[in-house]
Amino acid sequence: MTEIVLMRHGHALSAHEAGVSTDPERPLSPLGEKEVLETVLHLKASGFVPDLIVSSPFLRADRTAAIAAGVFPGAPLRKDSALSDGRLQSVLDLLQLSSAGGPRLLLVGHQPLLGAIAAVLLGTEAFDVPPAGFVRLLPAAEAGHCSLVEYYTPLSGGKKL
């Protein structure tokens, strides 16, 4: 794999606030829209340009990915239920898209799944990825593992490690 960004969707309205009946229908809040754009612009300014954006089909993640696609118009956008169904192995299988020389991936999904994926790839404890935050990873010498490039939270303005 070349480079992976695991990004959580932006702040979303509750089902009650949004007037929807199911969790997958919850939209981003106005704050979420703003934070997502800030985060994606930060990624672009730091030199990350995805070759592919893959999101959960849930509305809040899909909208987050659409905002990213607006900033990175050359990156195809697709949905994959692996990023919403909560099965860690399904997402790890999805990461095979970026095997040896493959694309730089921007994966947009949900907690706690994203934090668990980061933990597996880094060999650490799970990350708490906040709304519109991300974990940016590069492959390490050991196959199947990565090194941390950046852990970004919109409130902190980013934290490079």
Give residue-wise pLDDT tens across range 5-41: 999 999 999 999 999 999 999 999 999 999 999 999 9
| 59-71 vs 30-45: helix crossing angle, rounded to 10 | 40
Q: Are 153 and 130 in contact (CB under 8 A)?
A: yes
Q: Are 15 and 22 in contact (CB under 8 A)?
A: yes
The per-residue pLDDT for 93 is 80
The count of domains in the chain is 1
- What's 40's domain CATH number? 3.40.50.1240
The SS3 assignment for 16 reads helix
DSSP state of 71: H
* Angstrom distance (rounded) from CA 52 to CA 80: 12
List the one residue out of 17, 102, 100, 13 whose CA is nearest residue 52. 102
- Domain with 131 in it: 3-160
* Angstrom distance (rounded) from CA 161 to CA 90: 28
Q: What is the pLDDT of residues 130-160, one digit of tens each?
A: 999 999 999 876 656 789 999 999 975 555 4
